[in-house]
Amino acid sequence: QVHLVESGGGSVQAGGSLRLSCAASGASLSAVYCVAWFRQAPGKEREGVASISKYGRTDYGDSLKGRFTLSRDNAENTLYLGMNTLEPEDTAMYYCAASEGLCRNTGFASHFFTYWGQGTQVTVSS
């Protein structure tokens, strides 16, 4: 059982930056097969943002690589999502999720992810 707690969300102006954190307990993130960030804006479908495999391979959603950076601190058992040059379109609730499946098999299909945090809100104003 993996327990995930997100933090770091907030309100920023367009062009600003935020760093989201996902603190895990109950299991080591480096032992979990796939951990990812998703986001969901009001009225829109949940979207995969970035994922990292237990082997450290990262993957990003379309058009997000270059602005978003995913990293993992094994000592802190925490996943970080650095977000730069934020746009109003990035406004959403951001969720951390973990899967016992391989990232290359799960992709960003949310139904493969068993464990979810409560989310942290990111609001970007123009």
pLDDT in the model for residue 58: 94
pLDDT in the model for residue 91: 97
pLDDT in the model for residue 74: 93
How many CB atoms are closer than 10 A to CB 99?
A: 23
Contact status, residue 45 vs residue 93, Cβ threshold 8 Å: no
pLDDT in the model for residue 63: 77
Low-confidence ranges of the chain (pLDDT < 50): none
Q: Strand runs (DSSP E) across the chain, as ranges?
A: 3-7, 10-13, 18-25, 34-40, 47-53, 58-60, 68-73, 78-83, 92-99, 115-116, 120-125
